[in-house]
Chains A and B, each alone.
Chain A
Amino acid sequence: MTELEDLEIQLLLEGVAQLYGYDFRNYALASLKRRIWNMVQSEGVKTVSGLQEKVLHDPLCLDRFLLAMTVNVTAMFRDPHFYQAFSAKVVPMLRTYPFIRIWHAGCSTGEEVYSMAILLHEAGLYDRCRIYATDMNAAVLSKAREGIYPLEKMQEYTGNYLKAGGTQAFSRYYTAAYERAIVRPWLREQITFSQHNLATDGSFNEFNVVLCRNVMIYFNKTLQEHVHRLLYASLTLFGVLGLGQAESLKFTPHEHDYAEVVQGQRLYRRMR
């Protein structure tokens, strides 16, 4: 049973990679399997092979597949302590640069990117920054570009923002209309959103800061190593890498090329 299941999954991922170029073959298997089975159910098919047939023959089903295979959960000022540490320890370093390039890899619907823009604005650095926000999924990217979020979320985000050390009224950063919070256009000015797949695309610039948070936990060791090499190659010397709360550089290829910036806060500086 499991052997057949594993074979079907392998064939499904192989087919999607060859036909569409989206490569999930090196995603962490345990959680990917659960998402595949959830989609088998939601598509009303019986087997993974049934799902394969649907995805390969119906491009609309591919769009659903991409969303179903990835986890897009995100929030503004998610893990407020991270932003606090960033303000305290990374911002002073950025002040010494005339121009600052930042990459959010796996930005999902953009909440993290706007949070960073707000932080940099309050630090008086935003004018000097260029933020590149990428994700492999065009659907979440277009939401990120719009910057429109449910108004009801703003209470939670305001709390996060204050815990992160925000100094203004959070409502300055959006306009409310029809149960929606729309991010102020000036906040979007320095941000470029574009499609980039960490599994298959290469490095496209050199950055002073790279944030890749809660993305690599969905990858297996092989793909994680590949991405760590890519991120390392995309950072300037003394550039800073930010990871998610449960991620670390332990057991990764460049573990010893970075120094921890703040203990426990998943911020690492490239030292060589």
Chain B
Amino acid sequence: MPYKLVVVGASLGGLHAVAALLGALSPDFPLPLAIVQHRHKESDETLRIVLQRSSGLAVCEVEDKQPISPGTACLAPPDYHLLVEQGTYALSTDEPEMYARPSIDVLFESAADAYGPNVIGVILTGASADGARGLATIKAAGGLTVVQDPATAECDVMPRAALDAGVADHVMPIPEIAALLTRLGTVVPKVGV
């Protein structure tokens, strides 16, 4: 299955986890990454800057209707839900879900809706149950589901909640998640005649 989009959800402890994941991907990693990291609604650009420092990929905060472009890691801005449409990101200030805006479920469910089996969903560390439902939706749409090994997570509540949903294709520590994404993202080039 040629994957077209990676969606990542992280909460408590996510700063290090997301930095580790992005840091382990090579600068020419070809898939777009959309990331929801729970954070305070008045947080500034620090998260983006810190992540950019640890990654060779371009890291940005999403602006409304920004095109989904390869090799770019896009963060949900604070206090907005991040959604996926065909070819673009979209934002909204609909009610928080499970106390969260941005919500991981909202990102994952919209990604599954727009990209069906071409989505890879990744749940990392956190102290919430956000993301479990979204991961199940990705699975149901034929996408690939990955959960950080709870034993390696700064906070294991969120990975465990995702595992309890019973839909994880892979459970692994972050370096292996990065290796898996790299393998899946690399499309074997067609040999021209």
Residues of A within 8 A of B (CB): 2, 28-31, 33-35, 71, 73, 214, 216-218, 220-221, 224, 244-248, 250-251
Chain B residues, CB < 8 A from A34: 94, 106, 109-110
A246 to B109, CA, bound (A): 21
**Which residues of B sit under 8 angstroms from A2, Cβ to Cβ?**
113, 116
With A34-B94, A246-B80, A246-B91 known as contacts, the answer to whether A224 contacts B65 (CB < 8 A) is yes
Q: How far is the CB of B47 from chain A (nearest CB, A)?
A: 15
Please judge, given known A-B contacts A30-B83, A30-B84, A34-B106, whether A216 and B94 are in contact too, CB under 8 Å.
no
Name 5 A/B residue pairs within 8 A (Cβ), A-sorted.
Answer: A28-B92, A30-B113, A35-B94, A244-B64, A246-B80
Q: How far is the CA of A250 from the CA of B69 in the complex (A)?
A: 15
Q: Which residues of A contact B92 (CB under 8 A)?
A: 28, 31, 71, 217-218
- A217 touching B94, Cβ below 8 Å: no
Q: Give B108-133 interface residues, CB cut-off 8 Å to A.
A: 109-110, 113-114, 116
How many Å lie between the Cα of A51 and that of B171 in the bound state? 40
B77 within 8 A of A: yes
Q: For the complex, what is the distance from the CA of A248 to the CA of B67, rounded to whole Å?
A: 13
Shortest beta-carbon distance from A263 to chain B in Å:
13
Would you call the interface of chain B mostly helix, strand, loop, or mixed? mixed
Given A30-B110, A34-B106, are A221 and B84 also a contact pair (CB < 8 Å)?
no
- B109 partner residues in chain A, CB cutoff 8 A: 34
Q: Is the CB of B90 within 8 A of A214?
A: no
CB distance from B181 to the nearest CB of A (A): 24
- B residues adjacent to A (C-beta < 8 A): 61-67, 77, 80-81, 83-85, 88, 90-94, 106, 109-110, 113-114, 116
A31 touches B83 (CB 8 A): yes
Alpha-carbon distance A34/B114, docked complex (angstroms): 13
Residues of A within 8 Å of B83, CB to CB, are 28, 30-31
Q: How far apart sit A250 and B114, CA to CA, in the bound complex (Å)?
A: 23
Which residues of chain B are near A31, meaning CB under 8 Å?
A: 81, 83, 90, 92, 94, 110
Q: Does B113 contact A250, Cβ atoms closer than 8 Å?
A: no
- Report, nearest first, the 4 A-B pairs whose CB atoms are least far apart: A30-B83, A31-B92, A30-B110, A217-B64
How far does the Cβ of B134 sit from chain A's closest Cβ, in whole Å? Answer: 12
A217, B91: Cβ atoms closer than 8 Å: yes
Q: How far is the CB of B193 from chain A (nearest CB, A)?
A: 37
How far, in angstroms, from A244 to B94 measured CA to CA in the complex? Answer: 15
B93 to nearest A CB, angstroms? 5
Q: Smallest Cβ distance from B109 to chain A, in angstroms? A: 8
Per a CB cutoff under 8 Å, which of A29, A35, A71, A247 touches B64? Answer: A247
Q: Which residues of B contact A245 (CB under 8 A)?
A: 77
Contacts of A30 in B (CB 8 A): 83-85, 90, 110, 113-114
Q: Are B106 and A246 in contact (CB under 8 A)?
A: no
Residues of B within 8 A of A247 (CB): 63-64
CB distance from B69 to the nearest CB of A (A): 12
Cβ–Cβ < 8 Å partners of B77 in chain A: 245-246
A245 to chain B, nearest CB (A): 7
B-side contacts of A71, CB under 8 Å: 92-94
Contacting residues, chain A, for B116 (C-beta < 8 A): 2
Question: Given the complex of chains A and B, what is the CA–CA distance between A218 and B81 in angstroms?
Answer: 12
CA distance A247 to B62 in the complex (A): 9
Q: Please, which residue of chain A has its CB at the minimum distance from the CB of B89?
A: A30
In contact, A246 and B94 (Cβ under 8 angstroms):
no
User: Contacts of B113 on A, CB cut-off 8 Å?
Assistant: 2, 30, 33
Cross-chain contact B64 with A246 (CB below 8 angstroms) = yes
- Say how far B40's CB is from chain A's closest CB, in angstroms: 14
Between B63, B84, B92, B113, the greatest number of chain A beta carbons within 10 A of the residue's beta carbon is seen for B92
CA gap between A219 and B116 in the complex, in Å: 23
Q: Which of A220, A221, A248 contacts B63 (CB 8 A)?
A: A248
User: Are A221 and B65 in contact (CB-based, < 8 A)?
Assistant: yes
- Alpha-carbon distance between A73 and B95 when the two chains are bound, in angstroms: 8
**Chain B residues whose C-beta falls within 8 Å of the C-beta of A28 in the assembled complex:** 65, 83, 85, 90, 92
B43: min CB distance to chain A, Å: 12
Q: Are A250 and B94 in contact (CB under 8 A)?
A: no
Residue picked from A217, A224, A247, most chain B C-beta under 10 Å: A217
Q: A35 vs B90: C-alpha distance in the bound complex, in angstroms?
A: 15
Q: In the complex, A224→B85 CA distance in Å?
A: 15
